[in-house]
């Protein structure tokens, strides 16, 4: 059984809740593993600037995966080292479809969030993410006339959970293999390039460290974590996880606040679960 050298940990719903705090239990587990030479890689749907404060509070170095795998950043230099943007034409089609469904839409370019209006839904998102948006007259203008065809890192649309579920199903069928369409939190629909997800980004990080998947573990809670939970040699869904995340993981651990610590104890102090 190969020893785990790299652990990817999701943020929202896995390591932090609405209060944006990491429990002492989880914090201690991560710090002890890092001190022992294990690389901890935050993998989040957030922007790099919204995720890196948590990584730095834990004393982490190396890579951070933001934007659901559409990018990889180096923590110390705050520079992007891998980028997989969405095609502009697909982003424009998705923008029009989600607007028609009454959703509040946001676009992400580089490490910036763009809005063409705000409401209670976007205000709550900004409170949780702690980022300042760039306000523009019309998001669609950011997607037209681009000779390269390069669009945003991702599109995020906010609505009530039932609308999100319906649109994930409808847009998933509409775009097929042209884009990844998924739910992160119940109220968030996200769309990325088909080559951009947490599993692909984590595999890239592992390749940079010359590790195979048997040496990689992942911990998450949501639908957008399912790809990396399926890919990693050892994987854990916290007890509050979505059905898709729970099915993708090899083991379910305690809920938010203690689940990460339980997973680390299982990996490094007890019997580790290994994917066949």
Say what the pLDDT of residue 2 is.
76
Q: Which residues of the chain have pLDDT under 50?
A: 147, 271-272, 276
Q: Does residue 175 sit in helix, strand or coil?
A: helix
Please write the tens of the pLDDT for every residue from 227-238: 999 999 999 999
Helix (H) or strand (E) holding 183, with range, is: strand 180-183
Every domain range in the chain assigned CATH 3.30.1240.10: 88-192
pTM for this predicted structure: 0.92
- pLDDT tens, 70-92? 999 999 999 999 999 999 999 99
CATH classification code of 88-192: 3.30.1240.10
Best CATH choice for the domain 6-83+196-268 from the list 3.40.50.720, 3.40.50.1000, 3.30.70.360, 1.25.40.10? 3.40.50.1000
Q: What's the pLDDT at 159?
A: 97
Question: pLDDT tens digits for 14-50?
Answer: 999 999 999 999 999 999 999 999 999 999 999 999 9
| All CATH 3.40.50.1000 domain ranges in the chain, comma separated | 6-83+196-268
Bridge-based pairing state of the strands 154-158 and 188-192:
antiparallel
């Amino acid at each position: 059984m190969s020893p785990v050298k790299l652990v990817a940990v999701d943020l929202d719903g896995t390591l932090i809740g609405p209060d944006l705090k990491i429990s002492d239990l989880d914090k201690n587990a991560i710090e002890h593993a890092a001190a022992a030479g294990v690389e901890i890689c935050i993998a989040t749907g957030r922007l790099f600037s919204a995720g890196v404060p948590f990584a730095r509070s834990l004393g982490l170095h190396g890579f951070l995966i933001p934007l659901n795998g559409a990018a990889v950043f180096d923590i110390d230099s705050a520079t992007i080292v891998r980028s997989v943007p969405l095609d502009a034409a697909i982003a424009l089609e998705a923008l029009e479809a989600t607007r028609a469904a009454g959703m509040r839409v946001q676009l992400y370019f580089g490490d910036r969030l763009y809005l063409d209006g705000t409401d209670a839904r976007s205000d709550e998102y900004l409170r949780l993410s702690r980022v300042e948006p760039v306000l523009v007259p019309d998001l669609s203008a950011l997607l037209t006339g681009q000779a390269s065809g390069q669009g945003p890192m991702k599109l995020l649309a906010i609505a009530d959970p039932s609308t999100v579920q319906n649109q994930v199903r409808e847009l998933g069928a509409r775009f097929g293999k042209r884009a990844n369409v998924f739910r992160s939190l119940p109220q968030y629909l996200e769309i990325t390039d088909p080559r951009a997800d947490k599993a692909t980004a984590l595999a890239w990080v592992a390749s940079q460290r010359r590790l195979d998947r048997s040496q990689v573990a992942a911990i998450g809670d949501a639908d957008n974590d399912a790809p990396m939970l399926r890919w990693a040699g050892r994987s854990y869904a916290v007890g509050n996880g979505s059905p898709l995340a729970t099915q993708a993981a090899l083991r379910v651990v305690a809920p938010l606040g203690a689940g990460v610590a339980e997973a680390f104890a299982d990996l490094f102090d007890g019997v580790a679960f290994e994917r066949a």
